Structure 1
């Protein structure tokens, strides 16, 4: 295990961020300001300035988490709110060394206040384009269906996502409590997305065990897994993921905050990494979990024993697992190598 007396700054490590939810990317201060702007009364858990204490391994805990998320989403009511969130998120990504972001959004959640499903997605994509140009962070969108809603709704979203594949939509996801319903109920939606050229990236292997990862692979044709951390409980499944190079978007702080693991040291990042499973560290919902992307790399180093060479490899795996164009990938991979040599990315990168 590599140990360095003077470890390199992980914020200077170029990386891709593949697991970040739209509302969950909001700054706490922005939440408070938008709540005041729109007269939204926030519960103490969202207004205290500290991350709420959550434990979602039972249904009551997950309901509380989802209720807080829905409350936070309710402050996003007009075009300026959306543009502010996206720009600030891009600024935060750049600060953490993220040079490529694939942000996940269910546009149906914002449609009622933004003029409908299509106007909501078009606004989000336009905000993404402008934020990317302003910050230099490459940003794309994964449209996500909600597994608590109808599979027919998911098919509608899949068709919409395919329609905007040339405007910045690169993938199709499935979020919310994976213990509810069956992955195969959404197989037609994912078939539509895959045939339209989109990456299939459903959530699995977080609140439910390794069987949910297998369902994502077998029933939804997943090319990437949101979370997937519970695959570490099944050596044959890890071997399958490694053999097929299916990236798992592991979110250590989120796993602990939601009670999947009691302590950060228990997150099986090392087990997955050593088994050859491609990984992409993610922050999931910084608004609720209290830490952004660079903090996940700090956690991997400080608590899970990853040395700088291994952190660089995690960054490479995040880039390889992304939907970034080949030219962007090559540049990022070269800059990761430079960080490992010099401790920072090349000037102007």
Structure 2
């Protein structure tokens, strides 16, 4: 089995339909408008958000978030993942009626439980949301910088790329950078290549969430490759959301062949009928990558992970183990 690592997954979007149905029973909610035959149902962005918001609203207590993180990371480990980073949201914590600190502690406990059972390492990236405004993003950065949780190792911004300007978020990212947090930002999904260029100009991230629309500008692709910025690619999500029409038109291989450092990730996996394992399977089937190439992609993810040197060395050692010992 090819060992895997994931850098780009929104934890509220990682709850599979079975877990959501269990939570719906707990809170006496009716999941049938959003889940049918064990699968999420949506047909456009509005209905996707409705399904997402329904499921996310069913995680309300610290116990719920422990369960969510433990469930997701354990499922990843079953499919051969040795490392996972999840995007967390202080804004969602407040909407759920929890303090960001309690929410983060609960997710951290879930990560630790999954590690105790399977050996998988996990970390958290606190995210601000573009369409919630600059003040909300700066508040998220301050929380990330001050919370002191050992598994919070990064800061990012997600949300609607078509809202706000990158330069508006410079202060938030400086707060995070000064606290020693890793820096990533969503760009180049719906925002076009210009959003990637703006991220490089104003935010100076080590990683970009998605980033695939950079392919529209050859000079930008060259810049990404030269600077060693890692792209958190989510091919299945991109095709399902019609960012690209098919895997044949997806630029993953063109970016890789141009020298960009690319990784494979699942984004909001059950909503796009995917898993991290499926992303690797798609790369094998549609991009023609063999096991050696897929392991190299995992190595790129581990090298770009927001972890300390000792943890990174241990993960790289696991990757270097002969397959027969796994």
How far the C-alpha of 1:345 sits from its partner, in A, is 6.1
> Is 1:38 aligned with 2:21?
no
> Is 1:168 aligned with 2:147?
no
Query: Which residue of 93, 109, 114 maps to 1:126?
Result: 109
Equivalent-residue separation in structure 1 for 2:107 and 2:70 (angstroms): 11
Equivalent-residue separation in structure 2 for 1:183 and 1:117 (angstroms): 25
What is the root-mean-square deviation in Å for CA atoms of aligned residues? 1.8
| Aligned pairs, number | 326
- Deviation track 1:221-242 (CA, whole Å, cap 9, x = no partner) reads 2111001111122221111111
How far the C-alpha of 1:288 sits from its partner, in A, is 0.5
Equivalent-residue separation in structure 2 for 1:258 and 1:298 (angstroms): 19
Deviates more, 1:319-328 or 1:110-119: 110-119
Query: Which residue of 52, 67, 70 maps to 1:84?
Result: 67
Equivalent-residue separation in structure 1 for 2:45 and 2:208 (angstroms): 20
Question: What's the TM-score once normalised by structure 2's chain length?
Answer: 0.94
| Contact 1:13/1:345 (8 A) holds in 2 | no
- Residue number in structure 2 paired with 1:305: 288
Equivalent-residue separation in structure 1 for 2:36 and 2:148 (angstroms): 37
Query: Which residue of 237, 246, 268 maps to 2:251?
Result: 268
Equivalent-residue separation in structure 1 for 2:31 and 2:156 (angstroms): 29
> Is 1:220 aligned with 2:198?
no
- Residue number in structure 2 paired with 1:21: 10
Equivalent-residue separation in structure 2 for 1:267 and 1:53 (angstroms): 23
Q: Which has the higher contact order (CA 8 A, sep 6+)?
A: 1
Question: What's the TM-score once normalised by structure 1's chain length?
Answer: 0.88
How far the C-alpha of 1:304 sits from its partner, in A, is 1.3
| Contact 2:8/2:266 (8 A) holds in 1 | yes
- Residue number in structure 2 paired with 1:153: 136
| Contact 2:66/2:108 (8 A) holds in 1 | no
- Residue number in structure 1 paired with 2:232: 249
> Is 1:329 aligned with 2:318?
no
Secondary structure of 1:80's partner?
A: helix
How far the C-alpha of 1:83 sits from its partner, in A, is 1.3
Deviates more, 1:128-137 or 1:307-316: 128-137
How far the C-alpha of 1:297 sits from its partner, in A, is 0.9
Runs of 5+ in structure 1 lacking a partner? 1-11, 55-60
> Is 1:292 aligned with 2:275?
yes
How far the C-alpha of 1:51 sits from its partner, in A, is 4.1
How far the C-alpha of 1:165 sits from its partner, in A, is 4.6
| Contact 2:24/2:30 (8 A) holds in 1 | yes
